Structure formats: structure tokens, C-alpha cells
Structure 1
Amino acid sequence: MNRIDINTTNIRVWLDVFSYKEDGVQMMYAPALDLCGYGATMDEAKKSFEVVVTEYLRFGLENGTLKDDLSAHGWTSSSEMQEYESPDILSIIRSNKQLQTVMHRNYRKISKRLSVPVAS
């Protein structure tokens, strides 16, 4: 399950990520956020993906758009605390054409955990 927890010091993120090759380029795609990183190697793709997710979260927090963007991707918050969960994977598959394409490739699904410091 994809989850984002935000507190005063950091953002903890758990994401399902699909790793695959496209035209010789290593890709890492998180369909729950519709974010992708890439590189010539898996290590480069991981670093790229971490930068993309970190910048997405920081930008959303700094500009007050994160909650609305998560909501637009079907994420819900179950409490007054800033804890968010994505839709289930079947819902994401049904609504995400990119993921449907990825699933017809040779892919690997991994669970990725990130912790992003909150700017003070």
C-alpha cells in the first residue's frame, strides 16, 4: 500500500514502484503519484527517482498544493493528521494507461521507502 506521512520534521513515503527498461533506458515509475525517474543504470534510475519524488513533495508543501494534487490522484486522508493513502492497485491499473503499458513489459515491482526532511 502506498502511504505518505507528514510531520514537522520529515515526510515518510512508502511507494510501489515499477522498474523496467524502455529503449535501453532503466525506468522507475510510481503510478500512485504518476512520477518517473530514469537512467542508464538501475542506480542512476533510483537516484533520479528519489530526486523527482523529493522535489515533488517539497514543491507541494512549499506551495500548498500537495493535498490537492494527492486528492487529484485519488489519495485520501483518514484523519486530521497528515497521513495519506493511495487508491488500491486495481483502481490505479484501471485508470492509469501508463501503468497498463508498463504491465505488458518485463517489469519488476518493488516497494520503495523514502524519508524527506521538511524545510524549516
Structure 2
Amino acid sequence: MEVGLSLLAYRDEDLHVIFSPALDMFGYGHTDKEARTSFDETLEEFLRYTGNKGSLQNELARLGWKTAGRASNRTYKAPEFSRLLRQNDQLQDIVNHKEFRKYDRKVELPALA
């Protein structure tokens, strides 16, 4: 199942950072490309680990995601950015104190979680 994910790209001293507030997940690198690769690897490992443990749905619920439907046709909805901004101190710090670029990206979540 494909879902939209908001990502923030910013610099923290000498590092490029990609942050997904909806997954509370980061990628880092010396270049933007390295940060994106790091984020992709972190996301892949998260999905592999939670898939193997059968805990993806519980983890997404803990992060504020809404899920509906049975495993074969489950849908996922990320929390609204405005809600994340109210609840996530790290996100507030990025938005209030860093120059950042927000963009949306499609990611594939497993249908059987």
C-alpha cells in the first residue's frame, strides 16, 4: 500500500538531515544524497523489523497513524502535520529554529502487517 509521507530536509552543523515526523525517523549524511540514502535504509530496516515481529500496525498506532481494514486491504493514514507539530518538540525545534525544506514522498507499506 502506497502512502504519502512528509519529510523535512535541513542542515545541522556539518550534517544533512532528512526527518520524517510521522515515523519519528531520521537519515543523516555529509550530503543530501547520503542523508536520503541513510533515511531509505532506516525506513527499510524499520519495515523489515516490524514486519518480522508482526508489530507494524501497533508501531504505527503508537506514532498516531490511523489504520483501517483487514490485513489484505489495510489502509494507513499518517497523522496530520499540524497535529505532529503540536505534539513533537523535536519538530517544533526544527520548524522554529532551522532553515528546512518540506516535501512529500510516496512510500510503500506492506499490506500484510
- Could you say whether these structures have the same fold, taking a TM-score greater than 0.5 normalized by the shorter chain as the test? yes
What aligned pairs does 1:62-77 form with structure 2 within 5 A after superposition? Answer: 62-77=52-67
Can you list the C-alpha shifts for 1:31-70, whole angstroms capped at 9, x where unaligned? 0000000100000001001001111011111111111110
Q: Distance in 1 between matches of 2:52 and 2:26?
A: 21
State the 1:116 CA deviation: 7.0
TM-score by length of 1: 0.83
Aligned to 1:49: 39
Q: Distance in 2 between matches of 1:117 and 1:64?
A: 11
What aligned pairs does 1:23-62 form with structure 2 within 5 A after superposition? Answer: 23-62=13-52
- Between 1:78-87 and 1:55-64, the stretch displaced more is 78-87
For 1:103, what is the secondary structure of its paired residue?
helix
Gap runs ≥5 in structure 1: 6-11
Aligned to 2:6: 16
State the 1:13 CA deviation: 4.2
Tell me which of 85, 91, 98 is aligned to 1:99.
91
Larger strand percent: 1
8 Å contact kept, 1:17–1:31: yes
TM-score by length of 2: 0.88
